[in-house]
Amino acid sequence: MSHAIFPDIDPATYQRHALHSAERDWPETNCYLDVWIELLNAMGLPPEACLGSMITQDFEGDQFTFFKVPLEDLETLFGIRVTELAIYDRVEVHVLEQLARGRLSLVEVDSFFLPDTQGFGYRQFHGKTTISVNRLDLDARRMDYFHGLSHYRVEGDDVDGIFQRGDHARDLPFMPYTEFVKLPETFPETGQIADRALHLLHHHMARRPAENPIKAFAAVLPHQVSQLLDKPFEAFHLYAFNTLRQLGANFELFATHLEWLGAHGAGEFGQAAEHARQISKTCKTAQFQLARAVTRKKTDKLEILLESAVEAWDNLVQTLDTVLVSKQAAAS
């Protein structure tokens, strides 16, 4: 038996959200947030509204904060409740139960068996990633799922691999982390969502890093890159993903959030959005320059790669403080 949350969505004709446009600096962000972008898109909700928490991203010494939408923000904005799903039976048994109840499941799986990673890891490398199951038919060995940039279908042996069935059956050292999603009977109107998003932006601005995180990263960048020179180039890819990519994608998303707020009458955020986009563009350029430096094994001048991003972060928070304080004064 097949159950589906969005029965009318076909992977062959599904239209991905604009946040995953190839024209963006960072069309892919990270596996968890990418899933939520397309889930909200499928629900007819604006994923741009839930990105205010991106301003809280910090440099953690060896990486930038792996950004996710706080679950409490999803509930505040849309009435969507997300809870950990306890796994004590086979994973697919739990997923089917939740599908039958009209609930989505987000499951950590092995990207080795996901055909949408063709050319990047499919049937080549094992790696942890998050998908959300829209439709699952175990008898037909077919599953429709959200992952990365879009909505896809997987069939046959790959379904067995994802759920460790058939020829791929094996004892797991531990169960995958899984969440399930309870949807409200109705979603709020866009204007109400915008009001709630503005309130959350005030909240997240109060939680931003006390000091410029990009400046802290730039100070240790040359030393960290020097540690990569004698390692396989794959080490650079992992380093760049967890530093420059997470930083750049985070602030490109935040820029889009500010533009969305402005477009829905929540304030004048155009200048702040420009500062956030400057961070994104600087990181994209820096990633290319860093790759050349590692290839040539030269680490000179790395300390200046992020100068414009450091300045942009300071300008961003100063501009936002001014806009939000002015907004509060006008409201009172």
pLDDT in tens, the chain (332 residues): 577 899 999 999 999 999 999 999 999 999 899 999 999 999 999 999 999 999 999 999 999 999 999 999 999 999 999 999 999 999 999 999 999 999 999 999 988 999 888 777 788 888 889 999 999 999 999 999 999 999 999 999 999 989 988 777 777 656 788 999 999 999 999 999 999 999 999 999 999 999 999 999 999 999 999 999 999 998 999 999 999 999 999 999 999 999 999 999 878 999 999 999 999 999 999 999 999 989 998 888 888 999 999 999 999 999 999 998 877 766 65
What is the pLDDT, as a whole number, of residue 206? 96
pTM of the model: 0.93
CA proximity to 148, closest of 172, 181, 173, 119: 119
Alpha carbon distance 52, 48 (integer Å):
9
Token pair 């300008």: residue: 315
Instruction: Return the bridge partners of 128, or none.
Output: 110
What is the pLDDT, as a whole number, of residue 156? 92
What is the pLDDT, as a whole number, of residue 298? 83
Q: Specify the pairing of strand 178-182 against strand 142-147.
A: unpaired
Alpha carbon distance 66, 247 (integer Å):
9
What is the pLDDT, as a whole number, of residue 105? 96
What is the pLDDT, as a whole number, of residue 75? 98
What is the pLDDT, as a whole number, of residue 174? 60
What is the pLDDT, as a whole number, of residue 264? 94
Alpha carbon distance 4, 140 (integer Å):
14
Give the number of other Cβ atoms within 10 Å of residue 155's Cβ. 13
Sign of CA dihedral 215, 239, 65, 24: positive
What is the pLDDT, as a whole number, of residue 330? 63
Start-to-end C-alpha separation, the chain: 57
Alpha carbon distance 271, 316 (integer Å):
8
